[in-house]
């Protein structure tokens, strides 16, 4: 009974939702990896996919290594379904994503899909988003000024760093500023709107009105679809 059991359960359950002839968006992260592996197993069993569209180099490399037909988003006419994880999700299906540094691409995939299926382990369920950090992707150019502008509005946090102390670089070669709230914001939609209007902010890790079905994996290995 571990968190890995929960992630595997969610990933495998989501793979069972995929149908023949689909174009599937692939998220990024440990739970998404379990989905990609389970999807590859289904393909080996006879499932036919027109394409998979990865949201990151990591997901692309894993998909290719497992024999999945990976294509760039600019090469496909549409996306049937995107399956991706979340760092937090509340009862209104508002999410925070970006722990893996790919949330801008993940959001583009998700909003251009007919459905986004969210796969999470039970620890990601929260009563209100903003319990943990909020990743904010920021352009290198003028990044100290952008951070100052965020702090003037009361949004404090830290630049995300690698283990060696260097700046963590997103999939779009930008910086990540991880904002930490004293308490979860009462109106996260307003927080998002305020942040994205600051020049230099590319996007936040808030996802609103995007999630469709939510597959929750539990430590004992069972899952629920909400």
Catalytic residues: 106
Q: Which two tokens stand for residue 135?
A: 């990743």
Using CA atoms, how far apart are residues 194 and 43, in angstroms rounded to an integer? Answer: 44
SS3 annotation, 126-178: CCCCCCCEEEEEECCCCHHHHHHHHHHCCCCEEECECCCCCECCCCCCCEEEE
Residue 51 in contact with residue 71, Cβ under 8 Å?
yes
Residue 76 is classified by DSSP as -
Structure-block tokens of residue 163: 């283990």
- Alpha-carbon gap, residue 15 to 44, rounded angstroms: 13
Structure tokens belonging to residue 18:
């995929």
Could you tell me how many residues make up the chain? Answer: 226
* Sheet of strand 133-138, all strands in order from the earlier edge strand to the far edge: 157-159, 175-180, 133-138, 201-204
Q: CB–CB of 167/129 below 8 Å? A: no
Evaluate whether 163 touches 222 at the Cβ level (below 8 Å). no
């Amino acid at each position: 009974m571990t968190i890995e059991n929960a992630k595997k359960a969610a990933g495998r359950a989501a793979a069972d939702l995929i149908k023949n002839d689909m174009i599937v968006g692939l998220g990024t992260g440990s739970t998404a990896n379990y989905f990609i592996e389970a999807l590859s197993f289904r393909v080996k069993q006879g499932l036919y996919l027109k394409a998979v569209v990865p949201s990151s180099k990591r997901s692309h490399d894993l998909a290719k290594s497992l024999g999945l037909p990976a294509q760039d988003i600019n090469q496909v006419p549409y996306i049937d379904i995107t399956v991706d994880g979340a760092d937090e999700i509340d009862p209104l299906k508002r999410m925070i994503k970006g722990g893996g540094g790919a949330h801008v691409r993940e959001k583009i995939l998700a909003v251009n899909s007919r459905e986004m299926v969210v796969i999470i382990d039970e620890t990601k369920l929260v009563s209100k988003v903003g319990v943990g950090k909020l990743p904010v992707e920021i352009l290198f150019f003028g990044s100290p000024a952008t951070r100052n502008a965020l702090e003037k509005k009361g949004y404090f946090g830290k630049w995300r760093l690698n283990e060696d102390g260097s700046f963590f670089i997103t999939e779009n070669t930008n910086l990540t500023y991880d904002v930490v709230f004293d308490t979860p914001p009462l109106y996260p939609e307003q927080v998002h709107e305020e942040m994205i209007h600051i020049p230099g902010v590319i996007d936040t890790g808030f996802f609103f009105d995007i999630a469709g079905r939510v597959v929750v994996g539990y430590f004992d290995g069972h899952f629920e679809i909400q």
